[in-house]
A = this chain, B = another copy of it.
Amino acid sequence: MDQKERVLVNEEVVAKSKQWPNFIRAKLGFRNHWYPVLFSDEVKEGEPVKTTLCGENLLVNRVDGKVFAIKDRCLHRGVELSKKLECYTKDTITCWYHAWTYQWKDGLLCDIMTDPGSKMIGKHSLKTYQVQEAKGLLFIFLGDIEPTPLIDDVPPGFLDEGRAIRGMRREVASNWRVAAENGFDSTHVFIHKDSKLIKGNETVLPLGFAPPVDGEEGALWEVVNNESGPKGVYDNIGQHAVPVMEGKIHGETVLRPVIGGNKRIAQQISIWMPGVLKVDPFPDPTLIQFEWYVPKDENTHWYIQTLGREVANAAEEEQFDKEFHGKWKDLGLHGFNDDDIWAREAMEKFYKDDWGWIKEQLFESDGNIVAWRKLASEVNRGIQTLDNL
């Protein structure tokens, strides 16, 4: 019974944030960045797939091998085209309601079958967005400007030749920012202390990290903000801080990490615009984990988990593929990251009404998160707002 001005973010909260106002505003993510939304093999020739990115409902289709994304809302009466898919030619989609027909490639209203002489024809277009395929992922540029190079929106090394990528996608019930911070958070290792990955693998994770004494804190993270190329933050806590191997309360040791072996993992962790993590190596010395926290809407994100390995030839890639499906998907992407998922969902409540960004009390180890928020607040190419929906 309530119909008022729509508001996405509480501006009273934004006003209290001196350091990262636009990060708080970015509840629906960023415009003019490349986000992976689906895997390539999820979109087959002539079989449109419905998805949502940054709150916008999209239809994605493959036509003669090339993938296109259009807004899933007819210009005429606003219905979702996906409610009943009607494609009478391979390069068009027709609205089920009044037969307004749009071209996949540019969204042009090329015909209206119910009124073939309408003057609207050829004069209006559905919003379309650029799609780019790389490493088996479909990236969409929710853009108002000319698409920027994809390489500027992925972590260094992801697009390298010879790096094979495999992965999986799921929907998680938290805002994307809560998810990104969970991933980049140095001391969240504590939640993984009983992880199947650690127990079932020849590795170990400390309980936490003791940062160095005063004066050296700056070394704990490093911001990358070059004019071109990806922008991000390196977390150096692994190199500069002392791993905590004994959990103490009142001076007594109450907890020690599980030690599965001495393989060194997660040596270098970095986060990149528009919200993608690189953990190198992970979950094994031969692998790098790249994972995206893609805004679906204000309350949920697509968690796109990928592992990359350098391969010299097709046989090695085939071997990696087998290993991914036979071992790492279960042991790493589930066995380790399932804990991250419930942690994000548990954190969502506090930040949902925006006040969490003010009420929280960060500590020394959160310095890299602070650096990330400032960077994201400053270098994004645009913030998704309700007006775009």
Q: Is the pair A75, B361 in contact by a Cβ cutoff of 8 Å?
A: yes
| Residue from B88, B349, B361, B362 within 8 A of A247 (CB atoms) | B88
Among A94, A99, A191, A342, residue most surrounded by chain B Cβ atoms (within 10 Å): A99
Give the contacting residue for A353; candidates B6, B89, B187; CB below 8 A.
Answer: B6
Copies in the complex: 3
Interface bracket on A: 35 or more
Cα–Cα, bound, A249→B343 (Å): 51
User: Given the known A-B contacts A79-B350, A346-B79, are A244 and B116 also in contact in the complex, defined by CB atoms under 8 Å?
Assistant: yes
Q: Which of A107-115, A146-154, A315-323 contacts B (4 or more CB under 8 A)?
A: A107-115
Q: Is the interface of A mostly helix, strand, loop or mixed?
A: loop
Bound form: Cα–Cα A244–B8 in Å: 44
Minimal beta-carbon separation of A373 from chain B (angstroms): 13
Stretch at the interface among A164-172, A204-212, A260-268, A287-295: A204-212
A51 to B319, CA, bound (A): 52
Asked whether A10 and B4 contact (CB < 8 A) given A77-B347, A207-B113, A247-B88, the answer is: yes
Asked whether A7 lies within 8 Å of B10 as measured between CB atoms, the reply is no
Of A29-37, A117-125, A276-284, A375-383, the stretch lying at the interface with chain B is A117-125
> When the two chains form their complex, are residues B98 and A188 in contact, meaning their CB atoms are under 8 A apart?
yes
Query: B350–A244 contact, CB under 8 A?
Result: no
Decide: A115 and B7 in contact? CB cutoff 8 A: no
Cβ of A16 < 8 Å from any Cβ of B?
A: no
Q: A77-B350, A254-B89, A386-B1 are in contact. Are A208 and B248 (CB under 8 A)?
A: no
Chain B residues near A208: list those with CB within 8 A: 98-99, 112-116
> Is A227 interfacial (CB-CB < 8 Å)?
no
Contact of A110 among B249, B347, B354 (CB under 8 A): B249
> Once the chains bind, are B244 and A113 in contact (CB under 8 Å)?
yes
- Contact between chains at A4 and B7 (CB < 8 Å): yes
Chain B CB within 8 A of A128 CB: no
Contact between chains at B3 and A10 (CB < 8 Å): yes
Instruction: Give min CB distance, A335 to chain B, whole Å.
Output: 17
CA distance A31 to B203 in the complex (A): 51
With A115-B210, A247-B113 already in contact, the answer to whether A83 and B365 are too (CB < 8 A) is no
* A residues whose Cβ falls under 8 Å from a Cβ of B: 1-10, 12, 27, 55, 73, 75-80, 83, 88-89, 92, 94, 96-99, 101, 110-120, 124, 185, 187-191, 207-211, 244, 247-250, 252, 254-255, 298, 342-343, 346-347, 349-351, 353-354, 356, 359-365, 386
5 pairs of residues in contact across A and B, judged by CB atoms under 8 Å = A1-B8, A3-B8, A111-B249, A114-B208, A120-B363
